[in-house]
Amino acid sequence: MDRLLVTGGAGFIGANFVHHLMANTDVRVTVLDKLTYAASREALDGLPTDRVSLVVGDVADSAVVDPLVAAHDAVVHFAAESHNDNSLNEPGPFITTNLVGTFCLLEAARRHGTRLHHISTDEVYGDLALEDSTRFTEATPYNPSSPYSAAKAGSDHLVRAWVRSFGVQATISNCSNNYGPWQHVEKFIPRQITNVIDGGRPKVYGAGHNVRDWIHVEDHSSAVWRILTEGRIGETYLVGADGERDNLDVVALILAHFGRPADDFDLVTDRAGHDLRYAIDATKLRTELDWEPRHADFSEGLTRTIEWYQQHEDWWRPHKQRTEATYAAQGQ
């Protein structure tokens, strides 16, 4: 595998994946990205120009997608509208990008026989009870809650149908919540870190008992590369690093880092349809593909992430005011 097309490679996880490829492989990468509000060209700055190029374009535009897919050995498909709150305010772009975009890539992969890895989310399974110890596995039935997760669930179904009916050479991974550098300030961890840097208070939805299963983005990248190169065609792999924490716990760690009192946060209006708990059983990935996370100490990873945001204020500052204005208008 020499030439890789990475859709959404200017977003949070896609950009980290491209950095991972530059550091750990010899592949050449073309990033296809529409450069929405969530993208940052800066995240690709400094990468070797003889190995990474950027095409600005829409995954839902087959005239753009088809020749690019034809010219690459494999596609890793990250591009998506990714934020649940936005999907509740304006679902339309989630249908176009997450469903039509995946359809366009599948059709191109079918025409040209190109290998495709589809990046998905644990949210397709809906949520788990707080008091339960059950975790999601590859056999858990789909039960998405939000327009975002429903569109991602639909995109997974499209991939499986194209594998079965047309023989497309595809795999799927469903990962839990990522954290790390280059994550947009609309998301939970960067929002709270930057609130505190600004002298404000973290904003916690509802009572703050919702649980997310945190994984460092670098571990997600290594898992995707392993599945792309060693995964079985047609298979789905769940990706997680046993990082369950409730939101109050995460906020307490951020406040402690800054020497602020543990109760120095606001409880705000809850998200509609807010999923209670996600938890991943990654046994299949660990045993079949011998994958292990390398950043499983969440407190340590969070500290490095906080330091990264302290050092990259120039990057997040331009997005902060507009993001907070949107949240404030919703009572959040």
| Active-site hit among 58, 123, 156, 246 | 123
- Using the contact rule CB under 6 A, the part of the chain among 105-113, 197-205, 217-225, 227-235 near ligand DAU is 197-205
Place of tokens 């995964």: 231
Say if residues 212 and 249 touch (Cβ distance below 8 Å). no
Catalytic, 123? Answer yes
CA nearest neighbour of 319 among 15, 7, 19, 39 = 39
**Strands 236-239 vs 203-205: parallel, antiparallel or unpaired:** unpaired
Phi, psi of 321 (to 5 degrees): -65, -45
- Using the contact rule CB under 6 A, the part of the chain among 97-105, 133-141, 200-208, 226-234 near ligand DAU is 200-208
| Active-site hit among 125, 148, 237, 278 | 148
Place of tokens 């991939």: 159
Return the one option of ligand NAD, ligand DAU, none that residue 78 interacts with (CB less than 5 to 8 A, by type): ligand NAD
Nearest residue to the partner ligand DAU, using Cβ = 121
Return the one option of ligand NAD, ligand DAU, none that residue 135 interacts with (CB less than 5 to 8 A, by type): none
Say if residues 221 and 175 touch (Cβ distance below 8 Å). no
Say if residues 1 and 169 touch (Cβ distance below 8 Å). no
Q: By C-beta, is 25 or 36 nearer to ligand NAD?
A: 36
Return the one option of ligand DAU, ligand NAD, none that residue 278 interacts with (CB less than 5 to 8 A, by type): ligand DAU
- Residue 289: DSSP 8-state: S
**Strands 266-268 vs 236-239: parallel, antiparallel or unpaired:** unpaired
User: What SS3 state is found at 268?
Assistant: strand
Q: Which of 83, 201, 257, 284 binds ligand DAU (CB under 6 A)?
A: 83
Q: What string of DSSP letters covers 180-222?
A: STT--TTSHHHHHHHHHHTT---EEETTS--EEE-EEHHHHHH
Instruction: Name the β-bridge partners of 42.
Output: none
Hey, which residues between 103 and 122 contact ligand DAU (CB under 6 A)?
121-122
Return the one option of ligand NAD, ligand DAU, none that residue 11 interacts with (CB less than 5 to 8 A, by type): ligand NAD
Return the one option of ligand NAD, ligand DAU, none that residue 212 interacts with (CB less than 5 to 8 A, by type): ligand DAU
Q: Which of 34, 72, 216, 226 binds ligand NAD (CB under 6 A)?
A: 34
CA nearest neighbour of 109 among 162, 161, 54, 58 = 162
247 contacts ligand DAU (rule: CB under 6 A): yes
- Residue 262: DSSP 8-state: T
- Using the contact rule CB under 6 A, the part of the chain among 16-24, 61-69, 133-141, 185-193 near ligand DAU is 185-193
Catalytic, 45? Answer no
Hey, which residues between 83 and 122 contact ligand NAD (CB under 6 A)?
97, 101, 119, 121
Catalytic residues: 122-123, 148
Would you tell me which residues interact with ligand DAU (CB under 6 A)?
82-84, 121-123, 176-177, 187-188, 191, 203-205, 210, 212, 247, 271, 278
